[in-house]
Chain A
Amino acid sequence: MSVSDVTLRSELGRIASLQSFGTVDGPGIRYVVFMQGCPLRCACCHNPETWSFDGGEEKTAGEVFDTLLRYRSYFGREGGVTVSGGEPLMQAAFVRALFALCRDEGIHTCLDTSGCSLNAQIEELLDVTDLVLLDLKYASEAQYQRYVGCALSAPLAFLDRLEARGIPAWIRQVLIRGKNDSEQDLKQSAQLLDGRSNIQRIELLPFRRLCLEKYKNLGIDFPFAEIDDTTEEEIARAYTFFER
């Protein structure tokens, strides 16, 4: 083991949970690391237990890496590791260390993020990132302010940066009835993404109230408690706006 490996391995991160069989966060079978802590308070979030920066469990990048190596035989041609959250950008040094270790072993690295931040440390993380799943939540500044807690310009700047660096991205948007699924909303979203060369895929995900119980248990108010689940038909209709 080289000195740099030792340094990478000792990087500490706060982990909310580990999932050995992820099939919906990136291509193929993914080992998914959910980071603890998020600066945003998205009204549609289904993992409110990962918000706090105090929870979770502290682990070194080396520990997490050794564990995920046990699942390598399942990755096939497409799979690999996905780091989600929480917001992985808040622990960029840890994620970078983990990804660097994976890169050395030829394991595909995927970052699932809101794109709410960009700095030198995050640039270093992007050096070792193969694919970014970028959550675009709304298409208007007002909604971003109201339902997310950051500016729309942040994910757009992040996306610009990915394009400039030639890092492929999958755009994901949770479709919420009456919040971001009007014709105007969808047209606006499509426009924001139009012409970007690095976008490989756009995924529209249905809003689900499944997490209601979690909110109750945590004693947090779920702002979208009254909104119905998005139907398959609504998803299919929304996709038509993104056809290119």
Chain B
Amino acid sequence: MEMKQWEGFLGNTWKNEINVRDFIAQNYSEYLGDEGFLADATPRTNELRARLDALLKLERDLGGVLDIDTTTVSSLTSYQPGYIDREKELIVGLQTNRPLKRGVNPFGGIRMARQACEAHGYRLSDKIEDEFKFRTTHNDGVFRIYSEEMRAARKSHLITGLPDAYGRGRIIGDYRRVALYGIDRLIAEKKKDKKALGCDAYGVESMRASEELFQQITFLGYLKEMAAMYGYDISEPAKNAREAIQWTYFAYLGAIKEQNGAAMSLGRVSTFFDIYIERDIRLGILDEAGAQELFDDFMMKLRMARHLRTPEYQELFGGDPMWITEAVGGMALDGRSLVTKSSYRILHTLYTLGHSPEPNLTILYSQALPENFKRYCAKVSVETDSIQYENDDLMRPLYGDDYAIACCVSAMKVGKQMQFFGARCNLPKLFLLALNGGYDTTSGVSVGPSMPVMEGETLDYDAVMSRLNVYMEWLAKLYVNTMNAIHYMHDKYAYEKTQMALHDTTVERFMAFGVAGLSVIVDSLSAVRYAKVAPKRDEKGYIVGFETEGEFPTYGNDDDRVDSMAVELTHRMITELRKTKTYREAIHTLSVLTITSNVMYGKHTGETPDGRAAGAPFAPGANPMHNREKNGALSSLNSVAKISYDDCRDGISNTFSIVPSALGKTDSERIDNLVSMLDGYFGRGAHHLNVNVLNRETLMKAYENPEDYPNLTIRVSGYAVNFHKLSREQQREVIERTFHERI
């Protein structure tokens, strides 16, 4: 098949089948130079940005939510077109009819939508209430089939943050397909797939697939309608760079109008766009300033994406994040890097538009990336604290060279793989639950196998471990089954029609489990093993505290005695999870990631033998607990690098904060040292690193006077936030954390 919009593009495979990867491989131009070519923001961009900044300020002044449309259910075509400044915008499209106005999405659960409105001083309209009175939401469905044990595990905060009342997210549509092929071709392909289904036996699987395809096709049609409302016909492929970005953005916009998933990631678009930009520049219809403008405009739109959330949700996922994660860089399978000028342009938006947590710019880091690009990324880190790094050399052998990151650290092949998001379970609580024989002293809930409370003056390591294993086995099974319930109902009542239409019809699914509090349980087990831990009991005999005597090695010091416990524990967890069958034959994966929920998890967990007080926050993700490191930053990195990515395929998150003076004496040295550090860390097989280069004093000042620091961006577990958007508790926790500062 040939389309006139493809003139000048090479290759055939991608023309005959839906294959964006092949299109990129055949057409992109690697860029090895430095950032010298980049253009500043144009006056147009600056004017538009000034309007956006004013709107953002208003949103802040109003307590974080500018406006809510309480009478319309969010969907692709339910709002009239909205603009910041219609005359000036190069890329158009807003979630609702006004900038930063939030829509209501009750498909995940009507109660959540109602509470979210109320929390911000609004009331969900009777119209929507009535509409959903006779409608089953995802949340209704899940609670119809949750077992008593599942409810107890949830209530005791053993398993928390489950996507049972909001969209599960972590699905990345291949939004580029709309630009490369146009909607009509995508519909035609899906119709072909649907037709093929009818030829085989009509079992449950194929009937479900057929209905899903029906929905996908319908929503591709809505996407076309939505674009038409803005005056664009996206039935055919995009013919230039501006259209390629616009078409792709429409696809993404359709997805976030339809779904309020926790993480609505973008994928891997910059090098794809670069092909169109290069062609336009060759044709003389675009220059560098114009290319940068397109990125700036697109980024402004992404920075405005919002969902309406409840305060409970914010406690888990602080900072109002969308996780519009964009994967930048990485290597191609043919040995070239996928770095193009547009990899620079997208990072450069942090200067043309100022620092920002969204989109969540993620560098796919390889030892083999061009030196110039490594240095530029390091410079951006040092100056903006807005980007994160993930190990392409670790992921590329598993996912090829066209994967992206959903949320923080979850890799998947774009348009070919998706995941069922499953939040995380609380390991320190499991440890305490095991000691108390199935009684959670914090919530007063009995859950899990019932046993007598652990006896003895001091805890015996072997006895504790054998008990912990029993409870872990029990939890793993319950966790898988809970996830099965959630995702069965999500597919049934809140299926991602737009996003799945932008996947191959046959997709591979992951089921992503997670653990929280890894460093706390590991240090606690180390204390039991290497020191003397005497339990303190309450009047009923339950263990509620510990007297720990003697030295014990702690995670984060590159000490194999304790680091091996972290490795074994995560291995054990995924091994146990794999024993229970998943819904839709999803592949079990595990993450060590907490977002900001490490604060909330800690709050609901009693005292632990590592010396952590009851209610105190956990360390985030796979981070060692702060103030327990003795030999400096790299020891801490080495400890985390030991956790196996084979066991934790859904990602191992590590957040690294350092004061500028400890990273090097001059800017140039800081950049060189950061590059060496990244090379070293990822060379040891580590998976992820968030980098913050800033002084604790800055954060303290921002804590005292938030209004003076509206744009202070910091990286937390797997994403970035505006510091002022975190709760006071979350802010304090971030300040408490280790800042590597030895001089």
Residue from B631, B669, B679, B684 in contact with A19 in the complex, judged by beta carbons closer than 8 Å: B631
Q: Is A4 an interface residue (CB 8 A)?
A: no
Q: Cβ of A23 and Cβ of B558 under 8 Å apart?
A: no
B638 and chain A: residue at smallest CB distance: A70
Q: Is A18 an interface residue (CB 8 A)?
A: yes
Q: Is B681 an interface residue (CB 8 A)?
A: yes
How big is the B interface, by class? 20 to 34
**Interfacial chain A residues near B673, Cβ < 8 Å:** 23, 28-29
Known: A21-B634, A28-B672, A29-B673. A76 touches B558 (CB 8 A): no
Bound-complex Cα distance A20 to B672 (A) = 17
**Interfacial chain A residues near B638, Cβ < 8 Å:** 20, 70-71
In the assembled complex, the CB of B719 is this many whole angstroms from the nearest CB of chain A, namely: 25
Q: Cβ of A75 and Cβ of B680 under 8 Å apart?
A: yes
**Interfacial chain B residues near A21, Cβ < 8 Å:** 632-634, 662, 677, 740, 742
How many chain A residues touch B (CB < 8 A): the figure is 22
**Contact count A vs B, C-beta below 8 Å:** 71
**Interfacial chain A residues near B661, Cβ < 8 Å:** 24
Q: Is A127 an interface residue (CB 8 A)?
A: no
Bound-complex Cα distance A78 to B683 (A) = 17
**Interfacial chain A residues near B314, Cβ < 8 Å:** none
**Interfacial chain A residues near B133, Cβ < 8 Å:** none
A74 and chain B: residue at smallest CB distance: B680
Q: Cβ of B632 and Cβ of A20 under 8 Å apart?
A: yes
**Interfacial chain A residues near B679, Cβ < 8 Å:** 73-74, 76
**Interfacial chain A residues near B743, Cβ < 8 Å:** 24
In the assembled complex, the CB of A167 is this many whole angstroms from the nearest CB of chain B, namely: 22
Residue from A29, A70, A75, A79 in contact with B558 in the complex, judged by beta carbons closer than 8 Å: A70
Known: A20-B558, A23-B669. A28 touches B676 (CB 8 A): yes
**Interfacial chain A residues near B662, Cβ < 8 Å:** 21, 23-24
**Interfacial chain B residues near A73, Cβ < 8 Å:** 679-681, 683-684
Bound-complex Cα distance A78 to B677 (A) = 12
Q: Cβ of A78 and Cβ of B558 under 8 Å apart?
A: no
- B residues 657-704 near A (Cβ < 8 Å) are 661-665, 669, 672-673, 675-677, 679-681, 683-684
Bound-complex Cα distance A19 to B743 (A) = 10
Q: Is B635 an interface residue (CB 8 A)?
A: yes
Known: A20-B558, A23-B662. A74 touches B676 (CB 8 A): yes
Q: A56-74, CB under 8 A of B: which get 1 and which 0? A: 0000000000010011011
A208 and chain B: residue at smallest CB distance: B743
**Interfacial chain A residues near B681, Cβ < 8 Å:** 73-74
A77 and chain B: residue at smallest CB distance: B676
Q: A1-43, CB under 8 A of B: which get 1 and which 0? A: 0000000000000000111111110001101000000000000
Q: B639-673, CB under 8 A of A: which get 1 and which 0? A: 00000000000000000000001111100010011
Bound-complex Cα distance A157 to B665 (A) = 29
Q: Cβ of A76 and Cβ of B634 under 8 Å apart?
A: no
Residue from A20, A67, A77 in contact with B633 in the complex, judged by beta carbons closer than 8 Å: A20
Q: Which of A17, A20, A67, A77 has the most CB of B within 10 A?
A: A20
Bound-complex Cα distance A22 to B635 (A) = 12
Q: Cβ of A74 and Cβ of B634 under 8 Å apart?
A: yes
Q: Cβ of A71 and Cβ of B664 under 8 Å apart?
A: no
Q: Cβ of A75 and Cβ of B631 under 8 Å apart?
A: no
**Interfacial chain B residues near A18, Cβ < 8 Å:** 631-632
**Interfacial chain A residues near B665, Cβ < 8 Å:** 23-24, 203
Bound-complex Cα distance A24 to B673 (A) = 11
Q: Cβ of B632 and Cβ of A19 under 8 Å apart?
A: yes
In the assembled complex, the CB of B679 is this many whole angstroms from the nearest CB of chain A, namely: 6
Q: Cβ of B663 and Cβ of A76 under 8 Å apart?
A: no
**Interfacial chain A residues near B672, Cβ < 8 Å:** 28, 76, 78
Bound-complex Cα distance A203 to B664 (A) = 13
Bound-complex Cα distance A78 to B676 (A) = 9
Residue from A20, A29, A77, A203 in contact with B631 in the complex, judged by beta carbons closer than 8 Å: A20
Q: Cβ of A71 and Cβ of B675 under 8 Å apart?
A: no
**Interfacial chain B residues near A70, Cβ < 8 Å:** 558, 638
Bound-complex Cα distance A82 to B7 (A) = 59
Bound-complex Cα distance A18 to B665 (A) = 20
**Interfacial chain B residues near A78, Cβ < 8 Å:** 672, 676
Bound-complex Cα distance A20 to B740 (A) = 11
Bound-complex Cα distance A98 to B681 (A) = 24
Question: What 9 new A-B contacts, CB under 8 Å, besides A20-B632, A71-B634, A73-B681?
Answer: A20-B633, A22-B742, A23-B663, A23-B665, A29-B634, A29-B676, A71-B638, A74-B679, A74-B680
Q: What are 24 contact pairs spanning A and B, CB under 8 A?
A: A18-B631, A18-B632, A19-B631, A19-B632, A20-B632, A21-B633, A21-B677, A23-B664, A24-B661, A24-B664, A24-B665, A28-B676, A29-B676, A29-B680, A31-B634, A70-B638, A73-B680, A74-B634, A74-B676, A74-B677, A75-B680, A76-B676, A76-B680, A78-B676
> Would you list the 9 A-B pairs with minimal beta carbon distance, nearest first?
A74-B680, A76-B676, A20-B634, A21-B633, A73-B683, A20-B632, A73-B680, A21-B632, A20-B635
